[in-house]
Amino acid sequence: MAAPQFLITQEPLDVDQIVQTVFQIAKDTSISNGAVTSFLGQVRGHNLGQQVLRLEYEAYEPLAVKAFAQIAVESRDRWPEITIALHHRLGTLAVGETSVAIAAASPHRAESFAACRYAIERIKQIAPIWKHEFFEGGDVWIEGATADPGDEDVREDAYRLACT
């Protein structure tokens, strides 16, 4: 069953659901997919020389969903036949659990791969989602969006990363 195109949730993320979402959107808009790319970001066991115990994600949900929608519009501006869905999990996640899922579909693989990479770079730039990392001996808040969503130079940085 297809899930919403943009989702912030406390529930585990399902790659099959997000892929079905882009299939359904493409079908509804008469776009013929030749490629579907998915990206799953998972909690890694080590970071900065520390053994990670868990992560806790927080977000300003309405603005995060709005940022996801903006990323989809930007993606369509770059790759007109792209269909993209973005999901992010909040709450406490154990090592190995999926925190972010992205699916991108297009008639050709190059655009699908590029849009997926672009989306994760933009999420990190503009989505108000914060990560609290717990490790042996302490904890730290890391990353978090700090860029102005309208900053064209920052957007171009994400595009360059996506297309390298």
Query: How would DSSP label each residue in 97-123?
Result: -EEEEEEEEESSHHHHHHHHHHHHHHH
Architecture of the domain spanning 6-162:
Alpha-Beta Complex (3.90)
* pLDDT range class, residue 1, cuts 50, 70, 90: low
* pLDDT score for 87: 98
Give me the residue spans of the domains in the chain.
6-162
> Is a pLDDT exceeding 90 seen at residue 80?
yes
Is this model's pTM higher than 0.75 or not? yes
Higher pLDDT, 132 or 156: 132
What number is the average pLDDT over the span 63-87? 96
> Is a pLDDT exceeding 70 seen at residue 143?
no
Q: CA of 28: how far to CAs of 23, 87, 134, in Å? A: 9, 20, 43
